[in-house]
Structure 1
Amino acid sequence: MPSAAPDLGTIGVWSAHLRSRDRDAVRRIAGTLDELGYGTLWVPGGSGGDLFGDVDTALTATTRAVIATGVLNIWMHDAASTATWHAGTRERHPGRVLLGLGNSHAALVESTDQTYHRPLSALRDYLDALDAAPSPVPAEQRILAALGPKMLELATRRSIGAHPYLVDTAHTRTARHALGPDAVLAPELKVVFDTDRDRAREVARAHLDSYLRLPNYTRNLLRSGFTEDDITGGGSARLVDGVVAWGDVDTIVRRAQEHIDAGADHVCVQVLTANRRDVPLTAWRELAPALLEGVTARRRARSV
């Protein structure tokens, strides 16, 4: 009998603060986000580390939210260990864990003395290994970090869908067309909770700078209609405004709704701050009611 896919809800939170050496901080943050009603908490995979420990901590600190890896770097975690962990975790927390998988970036992988090669084939092989494990990870309980056409096609066939990162609504529309009507589409949306245009763009550019050095992202932005000029210098105003929602509550809700209207099922919000160490509790609290009520209602209306 096939396993059920987790119910992600319409709005989630993607936050680097869910990865920390301070597990008490992870517990407090995850518990707060759960109480605020966010449907899914996305725990970054990054360069490895004890990702599973952080996910387990978030799960024990919450009672309702789905906890998703956003995303597990397949070069940093072997498939056998991942399948074993997932089997135990889904038994302890049924319906509340989603395995997000991705093949990361050459620069990051090769900094660990590994050879980054044939990423599409590598991800296919990893999925094959998950399927062949003594306790397989069901396709309904995994999602892929897919941007380009071939990855989106793989996401449709081998998982519940796609979790694109650093995208605009044009990509969401393209991804929905590629995935078809039934797959889950859960794009990440960066947010600066500030109505001052220059200050908001400065925060956004500081965050985007490192991402715009990674070919996986820049190629996808070019496919989405941005130009080489847009992706230099931390990003043009056009690019910043396209991939980052900044402004007041109503503006951010509208931008999240645009992704829903373009075909997303779930939007995971990443709040950016001038000091990356600052936990954006105020923004999460102020955004929660409007996002969870307004955008969720808009999604229901779209499906009627």
Structure 2
Amino acid sequence: MSEPAIGVVIPKVGGLAQPPAVDDLGAFGQWVEELGYESVWTSEGWGSDSFVDLTAIARHTDRVRVGTAVVNVFTRTPAGLAMAIASLDREADGRAVLGLGAGHPKLVENLHDITYERPLRRMHETIELVRALLGSDEDVSYEGQLFEATDFPGLDRDVPIYSAALGETNRRVTGLFSDGWLPYHVPFSQLETAFETVATAAEEAGRDVDDLVVNPFVPAAVSDDSTAARDVIRENLAGYIGAFTDDSYKNVVHAAYPDETEAIADQWRSGDESAAAAAVTDEMVDDFGVAGTAEEARERLDEIATNPVVDVPLVVVPHGTYDAVGEATIRALAPNSGND
């Protein structure tokens, strides 16, 4: 079984990126819905197809939204993305959300043998063309630098498009074209500052900033052993920094914690993953995740949720930790946890 991350949100929206310990996604979706989560999300890197998995969840649920968080814009064409999300939206009776990301070179080039070039332009045009193809019941034509389409019938589906943008220019693309922002490993203490770029771009485009949804990813771990739960976040962040040493993924962490990030990356490169995790400070754990006992985790999540730019925090149980903390985390942070 593949081991994607799993996510769930509190208290308004729940998200799920295909937990590795779950064989029956339909039953899992029903359980998440019963716990009060409003949405279920899947990630897509390697192992599972987001749209197929979300269709299984949609067919066994009535209320939860189903969203991709995220699929990348290189391994499917805009037309392919539009068809996939339109099909999912029909199965889900209008509950689908399309979350897009630029991906990264290791995934796009090493796995899919596609040249990773002009990612921000590709994000820009993909969002524009997908929105045009989805949002019309008439023929659609589009001419960009990367993509063209001429007189193809629109799919007439009203599907929100969110962006997982890290860098400043990509955040501008989000403000100009997207319905929502899915920041990942952007320090919670810097979310307001980072969102200013999104908001400024939206205002320049004549868009209403209040209409933009902000759902930050929140790595989460709940355990009766608070130290063990916090160690889950340390290991997750160390792996994230170590795996993307020369990538924008690491850079967003480095901008906030330059000395700590270099120390973590050095330990990771030396092959000492335990030392890399130990180098993640308590401040970093709290700025990039939610961890501890159920009470501690809920309290920290509530703090993040009160951030003025946050609509709903999207909690993610890190890869490979579902058996240890996954079910406990989902139950403890569920909107209906007090009734469970």
TM range (shorter): 0.7 to 0.9
Partner of residue 236, structure 1: 280
Partner of residue 154, structure 2: 135
Structure 2: segments with no counterpart, 5+ residues: 1-9, 134-152, 200-208, 265-275
Distance 1:66 1:87 in 2: 14
TM-score w.r.t. length of structure 2: 0.74
> SS of 1:280's equivalent?
helix
TM-score w.r.t. length of structure 1: 0.81
Partner of residue 90, structure 1: 89
Residue 250 of structure 1 deviates from its aligned partner by 2.6
Name the CA shift for 1:176/1:139 in 2 (closer, same or farther; >3 Å).
Answer: farther
- 229-238 or 70-79, which moves further after superposition? 229-238
Confirm or deny: 8 A CA contact 2:108 2:115 kept in the other structure.
yes
Higher gyration radius (CA): 2
Work out whether 1:221 is the aligned partner of 2:253: yes
> SS of 1:144's equivalent?
strand
Identity of aligned residues (%): 26
Residue 138 of structure 1 deviates from its aligned partner by 6.8
Confirm or deny: 8 A CA contact 1:139 1:159 kept in the other structure.
no
- 193-202 or 31-40, which moves further after superposition? 193-202
Residue 255 of structure 1 deviates from its aligned partner by 2.0
Cα displacement string for residues 156-178 of structure 1 (whole angstroms, at most 9, x for unaligned residues)? 22111200112321232223333
Distance 2:156 2:174 in 1: 14
When the two chains are superposed, the root-mean-square deviation of aligned CA atoms in Å is 2.8
Cα displacement string for residues 77-124 of structure 1 (whole angstroms, at most 9, x for unaligned residues)? 222122112223323423310000001111221112221112111111
Cα displacement string for residues 40-79 of structure 1 (whole angstroms, at most 9, x for unaligned residues)? 1111121475221111111112110101100011122222
Distance 2:306 2:91 in 1: 35
Residue 246 of structure 1 deviates from its aligned partner by 1.0
Partner of residue 161, structure 1: 180
> SS of 2:94's equivalent?
coil
Confirm or deny: 8 A CA contact 1:47 1:73 kept in the other structure.
no
Amino acid in the other structure paired with 1:230: T
Distance 1:242 1:78 in 2: 35
- How many matched pairs? 282
Confirm or deny: 8 A CA contact 1:83 1:130 kept in the other structure.
yes
Residues 125-204 of structure 1 mapped to structure 2, 5 A cutoff: 125-133=125-133, 134-135=153-154, 141-180=160-199, 181-182=209-210, 183-194=212-223, 196-204=225-233
Confirm or deny: 8 A CA contact 2:331 2:337 kept in the other structure.
no
